[in-house]
Amino acid sequence: MTVRIGTRGSLLALAQAEEVKARLIAAHDHLSENNIEIVVMSTRGDRVLDRPLSEIGGKGLFTEEIEASLLSGDIDIAVHSLKDMATVLPDGLELVCYLEREDVRDAFISAKAATLKELPKGAVIGSASLRRQAQTLALRPDVSVVTFRGNVQSRLRKLEEGVVDATYLAVAGLNRLGLDDPRVHPIPVDNFLPAVAQGAISIEIASHNQTAREMLAPLNHRNTELCVRAERAMLKILDGSCRTPIAGYATLTGDQITLRGQVALPDGKESYSNTLQGPTQDPEALGHRLGQILRDQAGPAFFAKLAAGV
């Protein structure tokens, strides 16, 4: 039997698929280079590069083709950056495995300054993430944020070409690619709360695929799973559409999860944050509660402004 791993074709996605392959081989005597195949797929999100993700319709953008192949049995498992995954999966699919989370922080990337604060007045920052845009404008209302998409390498190239003065990338992605660059300045999470599930790799299977489920069980990192489940439950309450700037980060101490969350307007002029603790028995309940608290805190006027496209 050959195990087929589906993935997107970016260098980061490939590195993540290779990591899962190596872990499977290490965990199972019957698996080797000879019976695990990495199947590279192109998704709509990879092909449309000239528009912000929030405009093309975030949900399923990077996953549709891969998920169809899981359901048809053309592949057995799919490896994803969990932060790119919708909170509700199509029927018949499941996330069954979470690898230990990498560095969760964003990095500020610039040759001109080590922090956003030190950038010259009116600087131009490239980012397609509404969250990073909102967090940036909240700290520096004078800068402009321009849409800036593409894979990690192409974004670094645009920085080199001087298209922008700075950009952001997740430290996890840079680490997985082995990129060590003097322009990379990790930002403390307290100053710039990361995206929900940032730094976590998750593995999706068709629910009926018992073989895949059992094969992946030894790869699961329980603490990561509990934290990202709480984060994603919060995200689900606040917005499934990717049009709301949302940040969330959970940590675990003993049997308690501490979950921090934030919602903001894209222009950075309004932002609401809160922190809540709850037991590891029910990460979803914690996420739901914090999501509801943030929704009440922000109030109907906030969501009306969001809907109006402020």
Is residue 198 near ligand PBG by the rule CB under 6 A?
Answer: yes
Residue whose Cβ sits closest to ligand PBG: 173
Size of the site for ligand PBG (CB under 6 A): 9
Is residue 81 near ligand PBG by the rule CB under 6 A?
Answer: yes
Choice from 4, 8, 21, 83 touching ligand PBG (CB under 6 A): 83
Report the alpha-carbon distance of residue 83 to residue 106 in Å, rounded: 13
Q: Which two tokens stand for residue 289?
A: 């509660």
The answer to whether 72 and 192 have CB atoms below 8 angstroms apart is: no
Is residue 165 near ligand PBG by the rule CB under 6 A?
Answer: no
Dihedral of alpha carbons 181, 184, 188, 193, sign: negative
* C-alpha closest to that of 180 among 150, 197, 156: 156
The answer to whether 36 and 3 have CB atoms below 8 angstroms apart is: yes
Residue with smaller CB distance to ligand PBG, 167 or 209 = 167
Please identify every residue annotated as catalytic: 84
Distances (CA, A) of 195 to 1, 25, 271: 38, 31, 15
Q: Select from 165-173, 251-259, 264-272, 283-291 the region that touches ligand PBG (CB under 6 A).
A: 165-173
Residue with smaller CB distance to ligand PBG, 21 or 83 = 83
Q: Which two tokens stand for residue 207?
A: 């629910």
Residue with smaller CB distance to ligand PBG, 136 or 209 = 136
Strand 144-146 relative to strand 3-8, pairing: unpaired
Is residue 169 near ligand PBG by the rule CB under 6 A?
Answer: yes
Is residue 10 near ligand PBG by the rule CB under 6 A?
Answer: no
Residue 76 CB, nearest approach to ligand PBG (Å)? 22
Report the alpha-carbon distance of residue 77 to residue 67 in Å, rounded: 9
Site of interaction with ligand PBG (CB under 6 A)? 81, 83-84, 169-170, 172-173, 198-199
